[in-house]
A = this chain, B = another copy of it.
Amino acid sequence: MKKPKIVILGAGYGGLMTAVKLQKQVGVNEADIVLVNKNDYHYETTWLHEASAGTLHHDRVRYEIRDVIDRHKVEFIQGTVEEIKLEEKRVILDNGDVMYDYLVVALGAEPETFGIKGLKEFAFSIVNVNSARQLREHIEYQFATYNTEAEKREERLAIVVGGAGFTGIEFLGELANRVPELCREYDVDYHKVKVICVEAAPMVLPGFDPELVNYAVAQLEKKGIEFMIGTPIKECTPEGIIVGKGEDEVEEIKAGTVVWAAGVRGSSVIEKSGFEAMRGRIKVEPDLRAPGQEDVFIVGDCALIINEEINRPYPPTAQIAMQEGEVVARNLAALIRNKQDLETFTPDIKGTVCSLGEDDAIGVAFGKKMVGGKASFMKKMIDNRSLYMIGGASLVLKKGKFNVL
């Protein structure tokens, strides 16, 4: 009998968790396991705001995949997925094809710009190590250039962050700490720097407790961040952004750096491969398979799961992606052993903490609201837990976040 071949696309939180759980649960004689990823490293998506601001080096937010997979059990292929041919059970990569018996689609997210003109061309994003590193260097270059020009242009020093959601707020928290460092490095007067958060929705951090949100806004404002809430970005240009003001009016905000942190969508490979999806997210079955597909599981940013309590989708978080990976690994083990009774996935939200920089945060964990140093400590514990769940204690020791006393 031929061994079934399990192919996992993507080594983000969901895909990598699937791989490391599978390698424990499935014997080498039971199945071939293949992990496909664009890079030879995994990165902590939830830490990218730090690498983007320059407060944490990008090598701290990534680790090599071969350090956490068992290469006797999991074959790793470095390649970019271009399309999934469902009928042929084949995955087209930029550098070859891979056939599968079972597939796990964990291809992650892309920025969603909602058709707003110029965002794709002129705004930076916080989506992977490459984009984070480029954003960090772009900001540095703007600061470095400021003093070289005979006519000083203060707009060079202006940073617009589009979006007051999780990523936007966490990035602003890091920027608030980073700007004084940049000012020292490039001999720039701190008062000439502007950091503006522009958000179309009428609120900051929708879904968060209002008391915590007020704390977050007050803390960031104290550090000089300006908020323009209920203000849609109409266009992004090489000079900055154009925002809507009231009914018909618009206003230009000049800025050397525009960051789009207001939306992500699932991988565009999803639609390209013929899945029925909403912005790259597939409404999965309770066992995390794609509707009508017996052998294709979806995890992470490409999976859409409805929170029945409020009849709205769960936000795609690292926490949920990893829990999905665990369930998918068990369901795959069951399938290759010809058990048809698959486990149903239910997210177990242990807590949500939004960082406001190095030593401040807001959040809810174990049912308790918390702010400041306590919340910040909890955030670091959550970050370390992600490492622990995939790579164990040794990965925490290597890449973990510890308060330096």
Q: Does A186 sit within 8 A of B, measured CB to CB? A: yes
Q: Does A215 sit within 8 A of B, measured CB to CB? A: no
Bound-complex Cα distance A145 to B148 (A): 22
Q: Chain B contacts of A134 at CB under 8 A?
A: 141, 144-145, 148
Q: Chain B contacts of A131 at CB under 8 A?
A: 148
Q: Does A137 sit within 8 A of B, measured CB to CB? A: yes
In this complex, how many residues of chain A approach chain B with their Cβ under 8 Å: the count is 16
The smallest C-beta distance from A169 to any residue of chain B, in angstroms, reads 24
Per assembly, the copies of the chain total: 2
Q: Does A138 sit within 8 A of B, measured CB to CB? A: yes
Which residue of B has the minimal Cβ distance to A135?
Answer: B144
Bound-complex Cα distance A130 to B144 (A): 7
Which residue of B has the minimal Cβ distance to A147?
Answer: B130
Q: Does A178 sit within 8 A of B, measured CB to CB? A: no
Q: Does A283 sit within 8 A of B, measured CB to CB? A: no
A133 contact from B136, B137, B144, Cβ within 8 A: B144
Q: Does A101 sit within 8 A of B, measured CB to CB? A: no
Q: Chain B contacts of A187 at CB under 8 A?
A: 129-130
Q: Does A140 sit within 8 A of B, measured CB to CB? A: yes
Q: Chain B contacts of A133 at CB under 8 A?
A: 144, 147, 186
Q: 1/0 per position for A132-165, CB-CB distance to B under 8 A?
A: 0110111011001101100000000000000000
Bound-complex Cα distance A141 to B133 (A): 9
| Inter-subunit contact B137/A144 (CB<8 Å) | yes
A137 contact from B129, B130, B137, Cβ within 8 A: B137
| Inter-subunit contact A141/B148 (CB<8 Å) | no
Q: Chain B contacts of A129 at CB under 8 A?
A: 187
Q: Chain B contacts of A144 at CB under 8 A?
A: 130, 133-134, 136-138
The smallest C-beta distance from A256 to any residue of chain B, in angstroms, reads 12
Q: Chain B contacts of A141 at CB under 8 A?
A: 134, 137-138, 140-141
A130 contact from B130, B140, B148, Cβ within 8 A: B148
Q: Chain B contacts of A148 at CB under 8 A?
A: 130-131, 134
Interface of chain A residues 166 through 225 with chain B (CB within 8 A): 186-187
Bound-complex Cα distance A270 to B189 (A): 31
Bound-complex Cα distance A186 to B144 (A): 19
Which residue of B has the minimal Cβ distance to A145?
Answer: B134
Q: Chain B contacts of A136 at CB under 8 A?
A: 144
Interface of chain A residues 71 through 111 with chain B (CB within 8 A): none
The smallest C-beta distance from A331 to any residue of chain B, in angstroms, reads 35
Which residue of B has the minimal Cβ distance to A136?
Answer: B144
Bound-complex Cα distance A130 to B187 (A): 9
| 7 A-B contact pairs sorted by A residue (CB < 8 Å) | A130-B144, A130-B147, A131-B148, A133-B144, A133-B147, A133-B186, A137-B141
Residues of A within 8 A of B (CB): 129-131, 133-134, 136-138, 140-141, 144-145, 147-148, 186-187
Task: With A130-B148, A133-B144, A140-B140 given, name 12 new contacts (CB 8 A).
Answer: A129-B187, A130-B144, A130-B187, A131-B148, A133-B147, A134-B144, A134-B145, A134-B148, A137-B140, A137-B144, A137-B145, A138-B141
Which 5 pairs between the two chains have the least Cβ-Cβ distance?
A: A137-B144, A130-B147, A137-B141, A134-B144, A130-B148
